[in-house]
Amino acid sequence: MLPKTLGSKNVSDEASLVVLRADMKDKLKLTPDKPGVYLMKDREGAILYIGKARSLRNRLSTYFVKSSSHPPKVTAMLQGLATFEYIVTDLELEALLLENLLIKKHQPKYNVILKDDKNYPYLKLTLSEEFPRLAVVRRIGSAKDLYFGPYVPTGALRRVLRVIYDIFPLRQCVRMYQNRTRPCINYQMGRCLAPCFGKVAQEEYQKQVQGVRLFLEGKSKKLEDLLQRQMEKAAGALQFEQAARFRDQLLAVKMVQEKQKIISPGRTDGDVVGLFKAGGLAALTVFFLREGVFTGHKTLFLEEIDRRTQDEELLSSFLFQFYANQARLPKQIILPLEFMCLPKDEKETLEEWLSDRRGAPLKLIIPQRGEKLKLLALAAENARLALEGLLSQQGKGNVISNQLMAELGLSKPPERIEAFDISNILGRLAVGSLVVWQKGGFRKSDYRHYNIKTVNQADDYAMIKETLSRCYSRRLAEGKALPDLILIDGGRGQLSVGLRVLDKLGLQEIPVLGLAKRLEEIYLPRQAEPLRLPSSSASLKLLQRVRDEAHRFAITAHRRFRGKTALASVLREIPQIGPQRRAALLRHFGSLKRIMDASLEELTSLSFLGQKVARQVHGFFHPTDTDSKIRGV
């Protein structure tokens, strides 16, 4: 057992290490010479650092040497260290994967954590379907399909889709309907080949799919060659309509490629990672280049890092955390010179893991001259600008937080503000919303909505009570962070309800205020008169912005909730469709529209309906069609 003075500022590093060596000598001897993950913990059992090692014994023994040989971050971590634990794995790659999972779960103080709350969209080419289509998704699913992206900003995705549908007439319907009486409007506009109506053979349709795939992969030269061959083949077979389509596609592709910004004369195919550090933060900008064409970029931030953290550690953590979520990996990743300081075995492990993720060899390149070095400098400059923008935003947020503290009489500047609002229709379908403003911006990953369960009438106070109670009861049970300020949309009554809820939960120390819409008055506890700030006040504008965001989010959640309820209410009108069958239909089709569009054959194939009920469902939405089928017309 270590003495309680360990980690105290009164104990020198050398003395701490002597105690550690004496206390952990036996434990180090028993540590196996195998790959695995180790967890460094303080006296309270909190995890300070999680690391991986090819040899757990060798790696852990390096921590207990003279402090002069340690980086500053390790020295600081050792001051609070009380014990360590380890998990043995069979392979070093398994240790790499386990380390990442544990870091994401525990987010230790001395590990580098990638900050990226946004879940960016991908384009999925559904090769698992007979007639593939494009779908926008935010998660990687079936391995049979192809995924392209992520698209940052998301507006780039819409532009890509517009270009593709202008050039390649893929189907856009979610489901294939075989009982249509005529093709959809996209076919009439020349933007779909109507496979659902049998207007195109699968072989011909697959040619369009192949073109889309090459287009999304950035293989413009291969795509142009393919279209040229297809055009000549169709013309030679006297299929002039098809030849004209291929000709138009070829011209369109060439026009799109000419508009692309070529920034790599050497046709570099890979990702370029630029790094910039400042103010305890790090920004990493990734350029995506495919055959020399700049196809997009993405900037991510590493927050609350130790200013003395080594650059190679930042880059190593970034590579694993970022590429663990990418659908398609490049042939090479171009990295700054600092990455050379990473131990050779770790670099080899990363390359092996990345190659395994890609399914083909992937190289980590560290250029020292030439075109690739210039690309690195450009990526680093973009990282610098992005980080300076973030710091400027946070600086403005800090100024406003200080102003809020002064004007509201708070004990400290509020870095995290949580706002609540209620949306309902005469007490029905009520939804409570929570939005979070933190360090100068909205933290959308922390947004929550609550479908009101205990209130069946127009009682705004009771709804506020339920929302706050559910939110902070769970927060306390999970031990998660609490806000510096709570904002409730409303006046004195809503504020009083909020204060009672917090008092019951033992959270009286959290400041609470109400912001009434009509006169923009601020209601504070223990103040008879509301506070009225000038309309030009930055503090008031911030509170209004946060309150309005809570209102917007509440309305959005309420509309979604109302829409789902409306689906169920329509299905209630169909005879012999009870709660179980309604739920089963919605589970099977996913939406009322798909139920409405379902063919009689699709409905009769469902075991939970039966022939008679399936005809009733189809007849409810298509009375004429069903009557005709019944009569045999």
- 258 or 183, higher pLDDT: 183
Give the side-chain half-sphere CA count within 13 A for 617: 31
Q: At residue 254, does pLDDT exceed 70? A: no
Q: Tell me, what's the pLDDT at 565?
A: 53
Q: Tell me, what's the pLDDT at 428?
A: 61
% the chain with pLDDT above 90: 2
Which CATH architecture best describes the domain 13-111?
3-Layer(aba) Sandwich (3.40)
pLDDT tens digits, one per residue of 125-167: 888 888 888 888 877 666 678 877 666 666 667 777 777 777 7
Q: Tell me, what's the pLDDT at 51?
A: 85
Residues 388/276, Cβ–Cβ less than 8 Å = no
For 317, the token pair is 């953590």
SS3 state of residue 467: helix
pLDDT tens digits, one per residue of 28-52: 878 888 888 999 888 788 888 888 8
Q: What is the mean pLDDT of residues 13-23?
A: 49
Q: At residue 630, does pLDDT exceed 60? A: no
B/e letters for 182-210, b = 16+ CB within 10 Å, e = fewer, are ebbebbeeebbbbbbbeebeeebbebbbb
pLDDT band at 413 (very low <50, low <70, confident <90, very high): confident
Q: Cβ–Cβ contacts within 10 Å for residue 586, how many?
A: 17
Displacement of CA 484 from its chain's centroid (Å): 26
Q: What is the sign of the dihedral through the CA atoms of 450, 455, 456 and 458?
A: negative
Mean pLDDT (the chain, rounded): 77
Q: Cβ–Cβ contacts within 10 Å for residue 319, how many?
A: 23
pLDDT band at 179 (very low <50, low <70, confident <90, very high): low
Residues 291/216, Cβ–Cβ less than 8 Å = no
Q: Tell me, what's the pLDDT at 418?
A: 92
pLDDT tens digits, one per residue of 68-104: 667 667 777 887 888 888 888 887 777 877 887 788 7
Task: List, as one string, the DSSP characters of 172-241.
Answer: --SS--TT-SS--HHHHTTS---GGGT-S-HHHHHHHHHHHHHHHTT-HHHHHHHHHHHHHHHHHTT-HH
Using CA atoms, how far residue 124 sits from 134, 141, 146, in Å, is 6, 9, 6
Question: Which residues share a beta bridge with 281?
Answer: 278
Residues 613/580, Cβ–Cβ less than 8 Å = no
Ramachandran bin of 75, using left for φ above 0, alpha for ψ from -120 to 50, beta for the remaining angles: alpha
pLDDT band at 424 (very low <50, low <70, confident <90, very high): low
User: 3-state SS of 67-99?
Assistant: HHHCCHHHHHHHHCCCEEEEEECCCHHHHHHHH
Closest CA to 331 of 299, 292, 379: 292
Closest CA to 574 of 531, 614, 547: 614
Q: Tell me, what's the pLDDT at 17?
A: 45
CA separation for the pair 282, 358 (Å, rounded)? 27
Using CA atoms, how far residue 61 sits from 36, 91, 313, in Å, is 14, 20, 20
For 172, the token pair is 């856009």
Q: State residue 150 phi and psi, 5-degree precision.
A: -75, 160
Rg of the chain in Å (alpha carbons): 30
Residue 44 DSSP one-character state: T
pLDDT band at 570 (very low <50, low <70, confident <90, very high): low
pLDDT tens digits, one per residue of 326-337: 777 888 999 988
Residues 106/47, Cβ–Cβ less than 8 Å = yes
Q: Tell me, what's the pLDDT at 303?
A: 64
Fold of 572-631: DNA polymerase; domain 1 (1.10.150)
Which CATH architecture best describes the domain 416-554?
2-Layer Sandwich (3.30)
pLDDT tens digits, one per residue of 471-529: 999 888 877 788 889 998 888 888 889 899 999 888 888 899 898 877 888 888 888 78
Which CATH architecture best describes the domain 270-388?
2-Layer Sandwich (3.30)
pLDDT tens digits, one per residue of 590-620: 666 677 778 888 888 888 888 888 888 887 7
Q: At residue 633, does pLDDT exceed 70? A: no
% the chain with pLDDT above 70: 78
Give me the count of residues in the chain.
633
pLDDT band at 10 (very low <50, low <70, confident <90, very high): very low
Residues 47/69, Cβ–Cβ less than 8 Å = no
pLDDT band at 576 (very low <50, low <70, confident <90, very high): confident
- Residue spans per domain, the chain: 13-111, 148-259, 270-388, 416-554, 572-631
The H-or-E segment that residue 284 falls in is strand 281-290
- 182 or 377, higher pLDDT: 377
pLDDT band at 22 (very low <50, low <70, confident <90, very high): low
Q: Tell me, what's the pLDDT at 558?
A: 61
CA separation for the pair 123, 213 (Å, rounded)? 11
pLDDT tens digits, one per residue of 522-567: 888 888 788 888 887 888 888 888 888 888 888 877 666 555 555 5
The contacts of residue 97 (CB under 8 Å, 6+ apart) are 353
SS3 state of residue 3: coil
Q: What is the mean pLDDT of residues 232-248?
A: 80
For 553, the token pair is 């989010």
Q: Tell me, what's the pLDDT at 69?
A: 63
Question: 270-388 with 416-554: one CATH topology?
Answer: yes
